[in-house]
């Protein structure tokens, strides 16, 4: 599932957070720190007092910003969904048990404009519920939370329509779902299940070398009706992981946008990469309709679960600044319920609850929570802290 991907480009050094996909494995994080460099100059982002940790080969492992003030976020005014009416705060469901939510997602609008604000506004603590950010008040299509979903069984086989529909019967309180690719006929099966619940689709092209065929698959799935499509992403962390050059990705975005527009699509087209890759390579967000960045506080190692929202909000602000104030969405963020400790980051069911509540308090929209269910088809390695399969907010999938 998730690993820590590390990137050092254009003089920028920070902790890169890598994300999941069926064909995506994360870069192993090195665990031997032998040197500390201070006052590093960071391109496109201000980082006074930066402390950069490197391994025995001089490769950057992580960066902290000891002298930097923490971004302002709301206190715990947010009232999270209840689970079977047993708690007033968000609680994750045990594996294979039913999960229900009292949260009702706002009705998706028919527009497809880019969803995120150029600057973030913390929720108003005077309210008993999460307050709207500037983008929510502007009537954007994504006026609530988004959840990521992968349609694979534990043996890596594809889920069929009935299984996907069964999974979506459990997904409540979200107005959009994010996919990563087009394999397993997932654009069709998820579109059917999501649209039946009034949810928008954040569709995805995973392999940009196959962008033409994957885009055609999405076009075929839409069948001329784009009402339920909000965004189409082209690639997921390809630059961060060294799979593609920036120019490769920019070219693929252009190819995808041209084909989609010719088919009548008027929604957003973006590429998704880590917040570090976006900051180091603003061409990625310049070619996108809004900046789409993945960011997981867990992989930083210096952030506790209850501070996940504050950390991710700060990185979203950095991305927006690096992209010239462009609208920004955090396209992945979550916390594992099981696994090994990473510094201050401790996987547990309780900490997953704390992290999700923290993220919801910091963002009332413009964030994709990762992930709907545990991804038991994934494999762990040294960089995943034994947590690769256990990011599911609702435990194991019913299907």
> Quick one: tokens of 177?
């779902």
Provide the sign of the torsion angle of the four alpha carbons 254, 258, 263, 264, taken in this order.
positive
Q: What are phi and psi of 331, to 5 degrees?
A: -95, 5
Angstrom distance (rounded) from CA 108 to CA 173: 12
Cα–Cα nearest to 334, from 314, 361, 305: 305
Per the CB < 8 A criterion, the answer to whether 186 and 179 are in contact is: yes
Helix (H, G, I), strand (E, B) or coil at 54: strand
Distance set, CA 310 to CA 16, 185, 209, 313 (Å): 17, 37, 36, 5
- The string of DSSP letters for 227-267 reads TTEEEEEEEESTTTTTSS-HHHHHHHHHHHHHHHHHTT--S
What residues form DSSP beta bridges with 369? 147, 333
Angstrom distance (rounded) from CA 328 to CA 350: 29
Angstrom distance (rounded) from CA 241 to CA 237: 6
Let me know if 48 is exposed, middle or buried by CB neighbors in 10 A (0-12, 13-18, 19+): exposed
DSSP alpha helices (H): ranges in 208-348? Answer: 211-222, 246-262, 275-280, 283-286, 308-322
Helix (H, G, I), strand (E, B) or coil at 92: coil
Distance set, CA 278 to CA 12, 221, 230, 281, 327 (Å): 11, 30, 21, 5, 13
The active-site residue, picked from 214, 332, 350, 388, is 332
27 part of the active site? no
End-to-end CA distance of the chain: 19
Q: What angle do CA 101, 153, 329 make, to 5 degrees?
A: 55
Give the catalytic positions in this structure.
332
């Amino acid at each position: 599932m998730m690993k820590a991907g590390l990137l050092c480009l254009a003089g920028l050094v920070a902790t890169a957070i890598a994300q999941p996909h069926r064909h995506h494995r994360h870069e192993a994080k090195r665990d031997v720190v032998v040197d500390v460099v201070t006052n590093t100059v960071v391109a496109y982002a201000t980082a006074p007092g930066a402390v950069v940790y490197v391994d025995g080969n001089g490769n950057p492992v992580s960066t902290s910003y000891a002298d930097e003030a923490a971004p302002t976020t709301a206190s715990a005014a947010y009232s999270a969904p209840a689970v079977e009416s047993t708690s007033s705060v968000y609680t994750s469901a045990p594996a294979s048990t039913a999960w229900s939510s009292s949260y009702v997602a706002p009705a998706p609008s028919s527009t497809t404009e880019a969803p995120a604000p150029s600057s973030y506004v913390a929720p108003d603590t005077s309210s008993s519920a999460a307050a709207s950010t500037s983008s929510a008040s502007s009537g954007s299509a994504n006026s609530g939370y988004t959840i990521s979903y992968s349609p694979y069984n534990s043996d890596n086989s594809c889920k069929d329509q009935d299984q996907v529909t069964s999974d979506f019967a459990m997904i409540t309180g979200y107005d959009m779902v994010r996919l990563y690719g087009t394999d397993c006929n997932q654009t069709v099966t998820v579109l059917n299940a999501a649209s039946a619940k009034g949810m928008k689709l954040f569709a995805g092209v995973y392999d940009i070398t196959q962008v033409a065929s994957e885009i055609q698959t999405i076009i075929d799935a839409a069948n001329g009706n784009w009402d339920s499509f909000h965004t189409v992403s082209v690639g997921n962390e390809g630059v961060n992981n060294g799979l593609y050059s920036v120019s490769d990705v920019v070219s693929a975005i252009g190819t995808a946008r041209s084909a989609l527009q010719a088919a009548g699509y008027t929604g957003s087209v973006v590429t998704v990469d880590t917040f570090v890759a976006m900051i180091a390579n603003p061409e990625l967000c310049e070619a996108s309709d809004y900046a789409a960045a993945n960011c997981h506080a867990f992989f930083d190692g210096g952030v506790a679960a209850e501070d996940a929202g504050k950390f991710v909000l700060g990185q979203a602000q950095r991305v927006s600044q690096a992209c010239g104030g462009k609208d920004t969405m955090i396209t992945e963020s979550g916390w594992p319920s099981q696994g090994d400790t990473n510094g201050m980051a401790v996987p547990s069911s309780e900490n997953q609850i704390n992290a999700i509540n923290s993220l919801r308090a910091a963002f009332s929209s413009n964030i994709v929570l990762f992930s709907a269910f545990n991804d038991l088809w994934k494999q762990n390695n040294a960089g995943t802290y034994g947590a690769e399969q256990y990011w599911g907010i609702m435990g194991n999938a019913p299907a």
